[in-house]
Structure 1
Amino acid sequence: MSKQITHTVRVEFGDCDPARIVWFPNFFRWIDAASRHFFIECGVPPWHETEATLGVIGTPLVDTHAKFIKTASYGDLLSIHASIAEWRGKSFVQRYRVMRDDELIMECDEVRIFAGRKDDGRLFAWEIPAQIRQLCE
């Protein structure tokens, strides 16, 4: 099992729709930030450094599955719990649980890759770097 980190977000008025409910794309913005914070907290260097040392430019998203359970509104403090649910050969599943205190607001699984860039600029998936996996377990 991987480590788990918690990234907190305070919902602002501008994050909500006219019904005062968080507009759903904001959840994806916040969990994307939680993904990067997960790697930082595990000790993975910034992507510009991993590009120079490992050829890894980041962890782009290739698939996502989300379930919205309760609504959130401005003023709420949300805790986004991020972990790696599964390591695969060239991809991994990152799991998020968005909580308001003890209430589950949203859960999401994302499939991501460790991406490199070919000489012509196209992206490709690296095998998961062992040193990064070790830091995250």
Structure 2
Amino acid sequence: MSRTTVHTVDVQFGDCDPAGIVFFPNFSRWMDAASLAFFMQCGVPPWRELERTRGIVGTPLLEINTKFLKSVTYGETISITTHVEEWREKVFIQIHRVMRGNDLVCEGREVRAFVKRDADNPDRLRAIPVPEDIKALCS
């Protein structure tokens, strides 16, 4: 089992569509921020530092599934709880639960991989085995 972290978002007017409902891609943006916050709250250095010291560029998104249950509007505060549901050899599954108080408003499931630049073609990224030390920090 992995640790669970919390990332808080104050929803702004500009996050909403003309009806005052959060525009759905913003949930993906916030879950992406929660993913980075998860690793940093677990003690993993920022991606720029990891790229410089270990060649790890980050954890790009490979697959996403989002389920919307309730709407959110500006002026509200939401919290995103994040944990890793499963660690595999080269990918991991991260779960985000977007809460408004005690109400679940959205749930996201992401498949991500740790990547480095390809030695033969630095424009390409290659998945690497999940680093054991990072996995330990997050468990």
**TM-score interval (norm. to shorter):** over 0.9
Task: Indicate the residue corresponding to 2:9 in structure 1.
Answer: 9
CA distance in 2, matches of 1:48, 1:14: 29
Note the residue ranges of structure 1 that are not aligned, 5 or more in a row: none
Aligned to 1:133: 135
The answer as to 2:97 corresponding to 1:97 is: yes
Aligned-residue CA RMSD (Å): 0.7
| Structure 2: gaps of 5 or more residues | none
Distance (Å, rounded) in 2 between the aligned partners of 1:80 and 1:47: 21
Counterpart Cα distance in 1 of 2:102 and 2:47? 33
Q: Give the total of aligned pairs.
A: 137
Percent of aligned positions that are identical: 53
Q: How does 1:54-133 map to 2 (within 5 A)?
A: 54-119=54-119, 120-121=121-122, 122-133=124-135
